[in-house]
Amino acid sequence: MWKLSRVLPAVFGMFVLVAQVQAAPFDFVVNQGVWMSKKEAFAGEKVKIYTVVVNNNFSSLSANVNFLSNGTSIGNTRVENVQFEEARQVWVEYTLPEGNIKIEIQLENVVAKDQNGKNVAISSDELEPLKGTQEFFIDIDTDRDGVGNQKDTDDDNDGLSDEEEKVRGSDPLKKDTDGDGLFDQDEVKKGLDPAKADTDSDGRSDKEDLFPLDKNEWVDADNDGAGDNADLDDDNDGVTDSEEATLGTDPHKADTDEDTLSDSEEVKHGTNPLKKDTDDDGIDDALEIAAKTDPKKADSDDDGLSDSDETKAQTNPLVSDTDSDGMNDGEEVQQKSNPLKNDSDGDGILDKDDLFPLDASESLDHDGDGIGNNKDQDDDNDGLTDEEEKRYGTNPLVADSDSDEVSDHEEIRKGTDPNKADTSWFSFLKKKDKNAEAESVASSTPKPDWVEGSPWKKIVQFGALGSFILFLFFVGKYRLSKNRNYEEQNDN
């Protein structure tokens, strides 16, 4: 704060004894000094410096009022036409420096007029001795507690007195001398050196070092009180640091992949502790374990739908056929039937047996032409409409009603009975021709390697040859015996 050492004239009262043209010597009367806008101000604060100009001598007075601090101008202001016996207050703003300052007030460019309105000449030499002066001491308040450092016993307000800080080697003007993020007093309470950012010299500042007095430890990932260097399981997840190194997991993170399963639980379940969704089915491992699906298998029930797809379809990921209709959920989704309903179209036929599971009016297609029997005009696709087959008495669901290998339509066209098998030699030969044709097709089909390169082929061939020879032998023997019997009868 500032202190008044002595009061000197700061404002000048003036009077003039008028004698025709020339004025008599000036007589200056002390009126006011110099003061600040705050009684107690500290270095760095902006204040107003005040004084008062009083005209006791002239009819009117105008002048520049210049404010100086330690001989350097800090600002000026001009007063105009100050009338006789009028006082006018003036001021400038000033940011206070630390230490002793000397404030001076001086008038410049003075214009004085007498009662007749004539200028009264006043030289600068006559004004020089008439400066107003005031001295101040400006203290600093480091901790801004309203007490200047000259009186304050703890300038930085860190809880350690200035004297104690000198003993410890810390800075009494800094709360955190070593800049480690801890106040000096807090460091003293913890047994640390407030003048040294890394008390144990382990390369970690005291603030970030959980063991600031142990140069061998600085981190405790699992907060178990044992430093990581000594702790065999830094994250306390049940998997030792050496095992985590083998797995590639983070020894400082209990759940490396952040799927809410600890690394230890993942090892137990056989899932990948580095991957939230081991089987890539769209469901995190933890959710699968909770739902009792297999986190290592995308399709837990092997029904053709991933566990994620089953969740979306609301089917049971643990049961391959949710609606028990004989079809897997995956098959139903593929053919667009309802895997939650065993009879999707409600026609009374299970989806498994229904060729048209989404059409309540159809369920069968005997001729496989993609048209249900109810809409199909020719259910067996034999060329006769179902109505015509009714007239002929044939089976509209079988193309060859009498199973004689001649279609109903062909028999009607030839005039034969489609309900009675044809037993004529022509029919027999036709069947024989068909069999021969089938054998021809079969013979033209390439035989597999196991037949062509097998020793059994020769065995079969020789067996067939032997059977043929035996056949010829017995036929010859039979004919010879028959001829003898015939000759004997002739002789008799």
Looking at the domain assignment, is residue 263 inside a domain? no
Mean pLDDT for 256-266 is 89
pLDDT (0 to 100) of residue 252: 86
Highest average pLDDT, of 4-8, 19-23, 396-400, 486-490, comes from 396-400
Q: What is the pLDDT of residues 278-316, one digit of tens each?
A: 999 999 989 989 888 999 988 898 888 898 888 888 888
Mean pLDDT for 474-482 is 74
Task: With a cut of 90, say whether residue 444 has pLDDT above it.
Answer: no
Q: What is the pLDDT of residues 116-140, one digit of tens each?
A: 999 998 887 877 776 788 999 999 9
Task: With a cut of 80, say whether residue 208 has pLDDT above it.
Answer: yes
Q: What residues have CB less than 8 Å from 422, skipping those under 6 apart?
A: 402, 404, 406, 411, 416
**Residue showing tokens 């029997």:** 373
Task: With a cut of 90, say whether residue 44 has pLDDT above it.
Answer: yes
Token pair of 82 as six digits: 């100050």
pLDDT (0 to 100) of residue 412: 83
Instruction: Report helix, strand or coil for 347.
Output: coil
The C-alpha atoms of residue 52 and residue 34 are separated, in whole angstroms, by 8
**Which domain, by its residues, includes 76?**
12-138
Mean pLDDT for 218-239 is 83
Looking at the domain assignment, is residue 120 inside a domain? yes
Mean pLDDT for 445-463 is 59
Instruction: Report helix, strand or coil for 372.
Output: coil
Looking at the domain assignment, is residue 75 inside a domain? yes
Looking at the domain assignment, is residue 134 inside a domain? yes
Looking at the domain assignment, is residue 220 inside a domain? no
Task: With a cut of 80, say whether residue 462 has pLDDT above it.
Answer: no
The C-alpha atoms of residue 199 and residue 215 are separated, in whole angstroms, by 9
User: What are residue 95's phi and psi, to 5 degrees?
Assistant: -90, 120
Mean pLDDT for 318-339 is 85
pLDDT tier at 235 (50, 70, 90 boundaries)?
confident
CA distances from 127 to 12, 130, 228, 374 (A): 10, 5, 81, 130
Task: With a cut of 60, say whether residue 353 has pLDDT above it.
Answer: yes
Task: With a cut of 80, say whether residue 25 has pLDDT above it.
Answer: no
Looking at the domain assignment, is residue 484 inside a domain? no
pLDDT (0 to 100) of residue 427: 52
Q: What percent of the chain has pLDDT over 70?
A: 83
Give the residue among 416, 417, 414 at the shortest CA–CA distance from 393.
Answer: 417
- The CA-based dihedral angle spanning residues 328, 330, 334, 338, taken in that order and rounded to the nearest 10 degrees: 60
pLDDT (0 to 100) of residue 425: 42
pLDDT tier at 351 (50, 70, 90 boundaries)?
confident
Give the residue among 48, 30, 31 at the shortest CA–CA distance from 39.
Answer: 48
- Please calculate the CA angle 84-89-93 and round it to the nearest 5 degrees: 150
Q: What is the pLDDT of residues 48-97, one digit of tens each?
A: 999 999 888 899 999 999 999 999 999 999 999 999 999 999 999 999 99
Looking at the domain assignment, is residue 113 inside a domain? yes
261 exposed, middle or buried (CB, 10 Å; 0-12, 13-18, 19+)? buried
Task: With a cut of 50, say whether residue 475 has pLDDT above it.
Answer: yes
CA distances from 173 to 18, 96, 157, 161, 162 (A): 62, 19, 8, 10, 8
pLDDT (0 to 100) of residue 333: 87
Q: What is the pLDDT of residues 143-157, one digit of tens each?
A: 999 999 999 999 999
pLDDT (0 to 100) of residue 389: 82
CATH at 53: 2.60.40.10
**Residue showing tokens 């990921």:** 317
Looking at the domain assignment, is residue 58 inside a domain? yes
> Beta partners for 51?
90
| Residue of higher predicted confidence among 375 and 98 | 98
pLDDT (0 to 100) of residue 238: 86
Q: What residues have CB less than 8 Å from 400, skipping those under 6 apart?
A: 382, 406, 407, 408
Specify the DSSP element, H or E, that contains 286.
Answer: helix 285-291
Averaged confidence pLDDT in the chain? 81
pLDDT (0 to 100) of residue 240: 87
Specify the DSSP element, H or E, that contains 437.
Answer: helix 425-444
The C-alpha atoms of residue 341 and residue 358 are separated, in whole angstroms, by 11
The tally of domains found in the chain comes to: 1
DSSP 62-130: EEEEEEEETTEEEEEEEEEEEETTEEEEEEEEEEPPSEEEEEEEEEEEEEEE-TTS-EE---HHHHGGG
